[in-house]
Structure 1
């Protein structure tokens, strides 16, 4: 009875697929793309990712201590050998130093293995606590504008069943920077001092979740060393992949997609990259429907080369629809928090209009609301009011503390730029005095605190002030009427959160 009670909003909204323009939505996939790839075709992972490609945790073996590593004072021994007249023979001395250095590495490996064992033991305790936590599904698009919601009926359905956060800001135009800030919960300018802190996936993993990435990975490191138990997807620093990719990464294997080969595909229908990832997500939810552990799944959809924006929206709409249908069919929807948002800003000269937001303008400077805002949509059963809207200023860096709180993470990273959006999901107003700051490569600057937004155009010695609730299009400069507000932006803020250069 409880399951039916929690599931009915999604079933009511998403039960009817409908059509998008003149294009029917693609049918729900029944097979994983892994069933359609030639797994006998493998390339060495290191060749694909460079020297930083790691060994999967499941393939690691615990190093056995050597005789030398059981002793201490290795560095002292090296100093004695290097300075001792006994070892005048250079070859003998170098050979002994080399053995000591190997012993030192063995000792480091043993200590690292011990730390992993302690972390795993601690995690096993949390797995029991996490069994009643909701599943967490995060779907990210490289870019997303408010006006596009009406052209994506399946995404609009989630918005009608959950909450729309209207004042969510992206932090960068660079895709890999934006993904880094999502993963770390910090604006990039604040990240250097916290390089050893846990990231989003590691934080959720420590809480007892099974963590999976299905989609694009933009970094040189590998998802399996970044807190994810599983990865299926593509490597791309900017989120852009070929329309019909010829290879797919699954864990440590790079497999060829035979149907997408330009030669010798025997007339098979080609599969675009978004459909491949959608098939993988659907297959994953089917495989995990009886899992006793909660899931954290990040579905990072790419941009496909050569497609116009309207064509991309059709693909995104179809993918989101199939993902939601799968959550319903597997029974996950009643116990899942689903979040959909965009990642990067744009520098197009355009207007972005939506009923709950008003008209947002974009400009070549990249500093207007239309450049910086992206919809964030949250569905979480009865925990989030149906069809609700919240205008609290927020950012993608807030997702780490938010998901950590939803997942009841006991350990959380230090030095986060973000804050939990859980009060906003209860429809409270948060972040009234929080400062957001942006700059572009031309020297232009913008900042927002509460309802006020200030823009300093590049090369101009003036500040323009806008009251966003009354003027979201930033048309009426009210700096002359509110000099006291302007002075608040001139004073150095105590905790200014500096965002990466936008362009």
Structure 2
């Protein structure tokens, strides 16, 4: 589905010629992150059945990035990479934290300075709304990692209807249940339990984004807002009236999923209205993307990419993305060159004039792309973009450089694709370019030497398997047959 208009997204023709723009210092920054959003599930990236008018308007008057990658095809490691500017494998966070992670007392290493902390220490007013998933005990809490203002939940997901999750939580508590599933636990505001969240969760989060903009725009200092939606992550739950908007979609999962994305779009529209009302719209950079690819079994569409969430093929970690900043980011431009979400840390802190607050020993895997991005120049021609997923005693790997991408997927041999000509990764050309695949695999192996052992696993069984099989066995992963 959605095949016709997706070609427009991949077009190399730009509607606006990029030109040098003098960038003012210290804009407001809003980073909007969706959870498990499919590549083709927003109008600006080709969707014909999901309506996203607010996002489309921003994308069309900003710049669409058609070749944007996140660091990992799963939520937790991807978010860890975005906030630390490092691949999660290099800090022991290559697996999702398990449900109710407060029981294991783990989180992202405190020695890793988050982007939010750098911005906070440089004078930014910092806020986060929504899903955290980077540690649930106090020392890993958002308020301890650079956020002045946090409203949301600490785990990897949450149910959406308060009449449902509040009832189930109260029932479990009445029974004396020691550990209640964190999808049901109360939301919090700066460590205090929230009791007035009586609307659909996505609307609650959007309203908090509006509240943050309204409150913090009154001060002279710029603000950084991380809008970390959990939609359209499972469970598939939407408002009845939103589902009715998509009554023409026959598949139940797709229909509910579409309604969940629609609710995010509505919230973004409200935040844009508030930016304009407070006079902050023209001094605000908005970055929109997803933490990984969509789940094909839960209503998502990643066309024309191969596979989805969890995969090292494109559908697992190539995501929809746009930058919008009125008068500064080119309007109507399409940026087709590869970029990584790891580039956001150095790029945004540079725009914020906050580099002096980055610790001198801080390792960053990305680069500041801003100036070349504005001119529509390729900024990562010589850079490698990696991803890796461990599963069932094996390691899946994806590595891209320029037009070439090498893939090692579950129990299969290494394959090579010309990703610019074959975005669907359908034709293995490794036999024709042995030197190229050897180079890519060699660089991925060098990258693997920077990894450390996982500090946790998403469940007990995976941890036991990892230890019994003496993982990761990279000597097998990087052999070319």
Q: Could you say whether these structures have the same fold, taking a TM-score greater than 0.5 normalized by the shorter chain as the test?
A: yes
Matched-pair contact (CA < 8 Å) for 2:293–2:302: no
Q: Contact conserved, 1:136 with 1:336, CA < 8 A, in 2?
A: yes
- Report the CA distance between 1:453 and its aligned residue: 0.7
Cα distance change on mapping 1:344 and 1:360 into 2, 3 Å: closer
Q: Are positions 1:215 and 2:130 aligned together? A: yes
| CA-to-aligned-CA distance 1:157-209 (integer Å, 9 cap, x gap) | 11101111111112234322222222111111222698524211110012111
Deviations 1:275-317 (A, max 9, x none): 1111122122222333211001111112363423112111111
Match for residue 133 of structure 1? Answer: 26
- Determine the structure 1 residue equivalent to 2:357: 411
Count of equivalent residues: 355
- Please state how far the C-alpha of 1:481 moved relative to its aligned partner: 2.3
Match of 2:215 among 255, 264, 287: 287
2:37–2:294 Cα contact (<8 Å) kept:
no
Show the 5 A alignment for 1:409-488. 409=354, 410-413=356-359, 414-426=362-374, 427-440=376-389, 441=391, 442-460=394-412, 462-488=413-439
8 Å CA contact 2:346, 2:366 repeated in 1: yes
State whether residues 309 and 317 of structure 2, in contact with CA within 8 Å, keep that contact through their aligned partners in structure 1: no
1:406-456 Cα offsets, whole Å, 9 max, x none, are 101122241111222313431221111211233331433322111101123
SS at match of 2:424: coil
User: What SS class does the counterpart of residue 165 from structure 1 fall into?
Assistant: strand
Distance 1:310 1:348 in 2: 13
Q: Is the 8 A contact 2:65 2:336 kept in 1?
A: yes
What per-residue deviation string (whole Å, max 9, x for no partner) do you get for residues 80-129 of structure 1? xxxxxxxxxxxxxxxxxxxxxxxxxxxxxxxxxxxxxxxxxxxxxxxxxx
Query: After superposition, where does 1:187-336 map in structure 2 within 5 Å?
Result: 187-191=87-91, 195-218=110-133, 219-220=135-136, 221-235=140-154, 237-244=155-162, 246=166, 247-257=186-196, 260=198, 271-303=199-231, 305-307=235-237, 308-336=256-284
When residues 199 and 466 of structure 1 are mapped into structure 2, their CA distance, relative to the original with a 3 A threshold, is same
Over alpha carbons, which structure has the higher Rg? 1
Select between 188-197 and 222-231 the one with higher mean Cα deviation.
188-197
Distance (whole Å) between structure 2 residues aligned to residue 478 and residue 132 of structure 1: 46
Change (3 A) 1:144 1:305: closer
- Distance in 2, Cα, partners of 1:168 & 1:471: 16
Q: Secondary structure at the match of 1:459?
A: coil
Q: Secondary structure at the match of 2:385?
A: strand
TM-score of the pair, normalised by structure 1? 0.65
Deviations 1:347-396 (A, max 9, x none): 5378634xxxxx22216871211222101211012221101121232222
Q: Residue 397 of structure 1 aligns to a residue in which SS?
A: helix
Encode CA deviations 1:216-246: one digit per residue, 9 max, x unaligned.
22221221111111112223x2133332264
Q: Secondary structure at the match of 2:193?
A: strand
Q: 8 Å contact 1:211–1:295 — kept in the other structure? A: yes
Q: Among residues 291, 304, 307, which one is paired with 1:343 in the alignment?
A: 291
RMSD of equivalent CA atoms: 2.8
Which range moves more in the overlay, 420-429 or 486-495?
Answer: 486-495
Check whether the contact 2:129–2:150 (CA below 8 A) recurs between aligned residues.
yes
2:36 paired residue number: 143
Counterpart for residue 164 of structure 1 = 64
Residue 352 and residue 179 in structure 1: after superposition, are their counterparts in 2 closer, same or farther (change >3 A)?
closer
TM-score (norm 2): 0.68
Is the contact between residue 36 and residue 309 of structure 2 (CA under 8 Å) also seen in structure 1?
no
Indicate conservation of the 8 Å contact 2:309/2:315, yes or no. no
* Structure 2: tracts of 5 or more residues without a match: 1-23, 44-49, 93-107, 167-185, 238-255, 463-481
The one of the two structures with greater contact order (alpha-carbon pairs below 8 A, sep at least 6) is 2
Contact 2:73 2:316 in 1 (8 A): no
Q: Which has the higher helix share?
A: 1
The whole-number CA distance in structure 2 between the counterparts of 1:372 and 1:494 is 20
